[in-house]
Amino acid sequence: MTSIVPTATPETMRRIQWIQGVTIVWMSIEAAISLSAAWMARSTALLAFGGDSAIELLSAALVLWRFRVHVSPELAERRAARIAGALLAVLAASVVVASVLAFLGYSEPRPTYLGIGILLGAVAIMPWLAREKRKLSAATSSAVLRADASQSVVCAYLSMIALVGLGANAIWHLAWADPAAGLLIVPFIVWEGRETLRGKACGCC
The full DSSP string for 92-106 is HHHHHHHHHHHHTTS
Q: Which of 205, 188, 152, 202 is nearest to 1 (CA)?
A: 202
Per-residue DSSP letter, 106: S
- pLDDT class of 76 with cuts at 50, 70, 90: low
pLDDT computed for residue 123 by the predictor: 96
Whole-prediction pTM value?
A: 0.86
From CA 171, how far away is CA 55, in angstroms rounded? 30
Which phi-psi region, left, alpha or beta, contains residue 169 (left: φ > 0; alpha: ψ -120 to 50)? Answer: alpha
pLDDT computed for residue 4 by the predictor: 42
Non-local (6+) Cβ contacts of 165 within 8 A are 45, 177, 178, 179, 180, 181, 182, 184
- pLDDT class of 83 with cuts at 50, 70, 90: confident
From CA 33, how far away is CA 46, in angstroms rounded? 10
110-125 pLDDT, tens digit per residue, is: 999 999 999 999 999 9
Q: What is the mean pLDDT of residues 25-30?
A: 97
